[in-house]
Amino acid sequence: MNIKQLLRVADTELYRQTQKHLTDIERQVLSACLEGISYKEMRKEIPKSHDQLKRVGARLWKKLSSAFGEEIHKNNIRGTLERYLEDREAEDSS
């Protein structure tokens, strides 16, 4: 699945649960994490410090964990979103 689809899934579910969309910086961090980019490497593309990016990430994982009802972190976000999308597609085809 491509990153654009996974970002859409995350944003849609977050909005459904909180009536708030991902912020621009959250989208950038999430996109980079989905690509397997470390916070340190993100600094090349996102004009924030390593600590700022980690704080954004920590808040993002907390928000997404609440929205999806399971613990989400940097290392499992891609699998979680892919599984969620596959489950929704299976439900839609039934």
**How do residues 41-93 score in pLDDT, each as one tens digit?**
999 999 999 999 999 999 999 999 999 999 999 999 999 999 999 988 888 77
pTM for this predicted structure: 0.91
DSSP run (H or E) holding 64: helix 50-68
Amino acid at 37: I
d(CA 88, CA 51): 35
| Residues 26, 22: Cα–Cα separation, whole Å | 6
pLDDT score, position 79: 95
Provide the number of structural domains found in the chain: 1
Cβ contacts of 83-87, under 8 Å, gap ≥ 24: 84/9, 84/13, 85/1, 85/5, 85/6, 85/9
Structural domain harbouring 40: 3-92
pLDDT at 26 over 80: yes
